[in-house]
Amino acid sequence: MRNFAAILEREVRSYFLSPLAYVVIFFFLAVSGIFFYLILSNFVEICIRATMQAQMYQMMPPKLNVNMMAIRPMLHNMALFALFFLPLVTMKLYAEEKKSGTIELLMTSPVTDGQVMLGKYTASLVLYLVMLALTFVYMIFIYAYGEPETGPILSGYLGLFLLGAAYLAFGLFFSSLTENQIIAAASTFAFILVFWAIGWISDFVSPRIGRVLAYFSLIEHFDDFARGVIDTKHIVFYLSFVFFGLFLTYLSIQSARWRGAK
């Protein structure tokens, strides 16, 4: 446990002592903020228009669903933006070690490969949690303009966390395969994009194959979270995705150690 904590602290410090964390957080918040402003402005405009029409016909103004019209689109946008930014979070975890030669020190240090892997992965999760936590500021404006249900917001953020955890697990794997950070980021993005878009392909194949493809779509499992529904099958899917990514990373590290020992 002590070795894991040491690796975790080392990696978290590495993030926040370099510009990477601040650049990723800034652009994630900036892009999310722009789309949030557009979504919220559209929602407010619809509310004003509906109120004016109700007053014109001397009717009660309709009660619009802020969760469906503002929060749900925002959560889906954040899930999409994570697709672009999280590969930048994981690209350096192993690739930088290989490039600088410090991977040899890790392999000969009194820490296991599993402790190193989990320490690096948890550090990337910490950075992602910071990114998500800062977006809660947007929800203050939602509460200012409406009366949203808190449950769907919390379930949506749980879905974002699990979805991001799946991204990060395979980002770690691709970082373990190369010493080039750009290749690691691009490979992670391409891989995630395939599992993002596979659900769209299901519309163009037979229903049976379509159901199988849709099941493996990362975004299909997120939809229920955005609607406020927490289903264990979606949680199991994301956790399985995370486990498989970490398992492949462990095999990659063991393979590199075996090649180095020859």
Q: Could you state, in chain order, the average pLDDT of each consecutive group of 10 residues for the chain (262 residues)?
A: 86 90 94 90 76 68 70 91 93 88 75 88 95 89 78 92 95 93 94 84 71 81 90 94 94 76 45
Roughly what angle, to the nearest 10 degrees, separates helices 232-261 and 150-175? 20
Residue 219's domain spans which residues? 2-261
Calpha distance 257→153 (Å, rounded)? 44
Calpha distance 117→227 (Å, rounded)? 34
* pTM given for the model: 0.89
pLDDT of 246: 95
pLDDT of 85: 94
Q: What's the domain count of the chain? A: 1
Question: Among residues 155, 171, 186, 178, which one has the least CA distance to residue 242?
Answer: 171
